[in-house]
Amino acid sequence: MAHKQVLLREDIENLGGRGEVVRVKAGYARNYLLPRKLAVEATASNVKQIESERAALLKREAKERSTAEGQAEQLRNLSLKFERKVGEAGILYGSVTSMDIAHALKDQGYEIDRRHIVLREPIKRFGNYTVPVRLHREITVEMPVSVLGEGGVEVDVTALEAEAESKAPTEVPESEANSNASSENED
C-alpha cells in the first residue's frame, strides 16, 4: 500500500500534534487530511515554512492551553442534571448522549464540541456519573452528571431492581416439571 509523509497543521487524535511529520496512507492524506487543510505534503519548502511559523504556533498553543485551563476551572465547579422517564429496573426511556451534554453546557454558556465529550456509550440508567471532557490535548475535566427521574426525583436503582426481580415469576425448568409429573404418575 502506498504511504505518504505529511506535515500536520492541527492536532489530530491518535495521529500526532501540530507541526509533526507523520507517515499515513496515501488515500487518508488525499481524501481527508489535505482537503480539510489539517495537513500539507511534507516537502522541504513546507517543512521550512512550518519551522518559520514555529514561534507563532507556540504562542497560539500557549494561548489555547491557557484558555482551556481557565475553562477547566469553571467546569470543575459545574454539575449537570438530566431528567428522564424511567422504565423497569431503572432503565431509561431513551438515553443521555454526548450531544445532550453539549447542549446542556451550551445552555449554561460553554461552547464545547460534542466530540470532545468522551462518552464511550450513551447513559441508559439512572444514577451519578463522571464524564470526561477534553478541552485541550493535555487538559481533561471530569464532569459530574446526574440522571434523575421525571420531576427531579432521585430514583433508588437498587430498590427498582429488587422490585423487578420480585415481580418476575419463578419459573421451573421444563425438564424438572416433566420429571416431577412422571414421578407422580408412577406412584
- pTM metric for this prediction: 0.60
Q: By CB neighbour count within 10 A (0-12 exposed, 13-18 middle, 19+ buried), where does 109 fall?
A: exposed
Q: What is the pLDDT of residues 5-56, one digit of tens each?
A: 998 888 888 888 888 889 999 999 999 999 998 999 888 888 888 777 777 8
Mean pLDDT of 66-72: 89
Rounded distance, CA 146 to CA 123, Å? 10
Q: What is the pLDDT of residues 134-169, one digit of tens each?
A: 888 788 899 899 888 776 556 555 555 555 555 555
**Domains of the chain and CATH, by start:** 3-71 (3.40.5.10), 75-167 (3.10.430.100)
Rounded distance, CA 154 to CA 113, Å? 29
Grid coordinates standing for 132? 470526561
